[in-house]
Amino acid sequence: MLAIGALQSLPDRNDIKNVYIPDEVILNTIGNSIVSLSDFIPADIHLYKLVDNNILKTIAEAKPSIYPSFYRRLHLEHTFLLKEDSLFYTALKNQEKTDSLNNGQIFNGLPLFQTIYPIINKNNKTIGFLLVERSLYEQRRWGLKEWLYQNTVNNIIQAILESSFLETRALPIIYPGDGIVILDSNGIINYSNYTAINTAKYLELITPLEGNSFEEVFSKGTWRILEVNSLYSEQELTVDSYVINIKVIPLDSIVLIVLRDVSELRHKDQEIKVKSAIIKEIHHRVKNNLQSIASLLRLQQRRTQNMEVKDILSDSINRINSISVVHDYLSQKNVDVIDLTEMAKNILFEVSKSFTLPDKKIGFNIYAPDNLLFPSAKAVS
């Protein structure tokens, strides 16, 4: 049993309960996953829906964001007839992954490698196809690890297709700048890209990564689990002042790990928390000061015999109490908007104290919609 970080075992798609998911939802889930997949491979990816057994319709597509694409225009909603001499028909007939016989052919200046994956539902019916078109130049960059590249690409695509029949959650997004580490079934690192190597270096971990156990290399620091589901796990590793987000995606025979440095983001989050605490404390002190002023005005109100002055002081006290209620609300919740309905109830309660006698009971009702939101800056002005 492979353990990574704070997890004693990896997610397993076999643990997902057998549920019925409509074909449209399955295709939509796959469509949500191909955006990040196009940058990871990299490749042009088109998702087709099979309509009336002989018509294909493009329902989703993705192009690499930083790598060359084979196409200049979008093909969404494009439809065409399924012909018997096409690669799609071969994939439909055999119901298995099919590579083009013309792979390596130059298309728009790049050597094209085409693979079609049929999407087959639980009733053994083909409902669509995933067309993956990648440049052989990108594949050759892996050098002696080209076999691992092929295996990883095929594994992650199969994982996307299989998981779409089990749940609607898509695989996590993989950005071009992310660190990529590939483990074998024993947790040994078979591949690491430049970003992953650089991450290990500034964390002062064991290098080179390849050939070493992932658990041994990333043994420093503190792990924290963020999310665990049947498709992947998400954790954070904190080493000194660095925070690394780590997503673990178990595939059939390998484990794909995505590293992302979120140190700056976490430091900013901490700064925001500190500033929020300061703002809440300021609101609390303003509320206390306003209540002190209101108390002083009440003393003046009791001492004066002039009814006009009493009324003016009473009006001032009510205004100050109303503003104090808003600051009290903000000191507890620290929000940019306030609920005017809730605020009105609190203000009415404070005002009622000034107008009712101890031996009298007067009821108040407020008729207003719930969640009547208003900017807090205007509420205290």
Render pLDDT for 111-133 as a digit per residue (tens, 0 to 9).
Answer: 888 999 999 998 899 999 999 99
Q: What is the Cα Rg of the chain in Å?
A: 31
Task: For residue 196, give the amino acid letter.
Answer: A
pLDDT of 336? 66
Residue range 9-48, pLDDT digits in tens: 776 666 666 678 899 999 999 999 888 888 888 899 999 9
Q: Report the distance separating Cα 116 and Cα 233, nearest Å.
A: 29
Final residue of a domain: which of 261, 291, 311? 261
Verify that 317 and 369 share a domain, yes or no: yes
Secondary structure of residue 230 in the 3-state scheme: coil
The four Cα atoms 274, 276, 281, 286 give a dihedral, to 10 degrees, of: 140
Verify that 187 and 296 share a domain, yes or no: no
Final residue of a domain: which of 232, 261, 290? 261
Residue owning tokens 């075992």: 9
Nearest 5°: CA angle at 71, between 67 and 74? 115
Whether 13 is covered by a domain: the verdict is no
Q: Report the distance separating Cα 85 and Cα 91, nearest Å.
A: 11
Which residue has better confidence, 328 or 209? 209
Verify that 207 and 274 share a domain, yes or no: no
Q: Is the pLDDT of residue 221 over 60?
A: yes
Residue range 164-198, pLDDT digits in tens: 888 788 888 888 889 999 999 899 999 998 999 99
Whether 170 is covered by a domain: the verdict is no
- The helix, strand and coil proportions of the chain, stated in percent and rounded to the nearest 5, come to 40, 25, 35
Nearest 5°: CA angle at 136, between 131 and 139? 95
Q: CB neighbours (10 Å) of residue 61?
A: 20
Final residue of a domain: which of 129, 145, 165? 165
Q: Which residues pair with 92 in a beta bridge?
A: none
Q: Is the pLDDT of residue 96 over 70?
A: yes
Whether 344 is covered by a domain: the verdict is yes
Task: Answer whether 39's CB lies under 8 Å from 193's CB.
Answer: no
CATH code of the domain containing 140: 3.30.450.40
Task: For residue 125, give the amino acid letter.
Answer: K
User: What mean pLDDT is reported for the chain?
Assistant: 84
pTM: 0.70
Going by C-alpha positions, the residue among 373, 294, 305 that lies closest to residue 337 is: 373
Verify that 181 and 210 share a domain, yes or no: yes
Task: Answer whether 257's CB lies under 8 Å from 249's CB.
Answer: yes
Quote the domain boundaries for residue 194.
1-8+176-261
Verify that 293 and 354 share a domain, yes or no: yes
Verify that 209 and 245 share a domain, yes or no: yes
Q: Is the pLDDT of residue 318 over 70?
A: yes
Verify that 71 and 149 share a domain, yes or no: yes
Secondary structure of residue 255 in the 3-state scheme: strand
Find how far residue 171's CA is from the centre of its chain: 10
Find how far residue 365's CA is from the centre of its chain: 43
Residue range 244-272, pLDDT digits in tens: 999 999 888 889 999 999 999 888 888 88
How is 51-105 classified by DSSP, letter by letter? ETTTEEEEEEEE--SSS--S-SS--TT-EEE--TTSHHHHHHHHTS-EE-TTTT-
Q: Total structural domains in the chain?
A: 3
Verify that 55 and 108 share a domain, yes or no: yes
Verify that 152 and 196 share a domain, yes or no: no
Percent of the chain whose predicted confidence (pLDDT) is above 90: 29
Nearest 5°: CA angle at 219, between 215 and 225? 80
Verify that 143 and 67 share a domain, yes or no: yes
Residue range 223-235, pLDDT digits in tens: 999 998 878 899 9
Q: Report the distance separating Cα 104 and Cα 111, nearest Å.
A: 5
Question: Could you give the angle at which helices 23-40 and 146-163 cross, rounded to 10 degrees?
Answer: 160
Count of CA atoms in the C-beta half-sphere (13 A) of 185: 3
Whether 15 is covered by a domain: the verdict is no
Q: Is the pLDDT of residue 323 over 60?
A: yes
- DSSP label at residue 342: H
Cis, peptide link before residue 208, omega less than 30° from 0: yes
Verify that 27 and 157 share a domain, yes or no: yes
Q: Report the distance separating Cα 196 and Cα 182, nearest Å.
A: 10
Verify that 69 and 161 share a domain, yes or no: yes
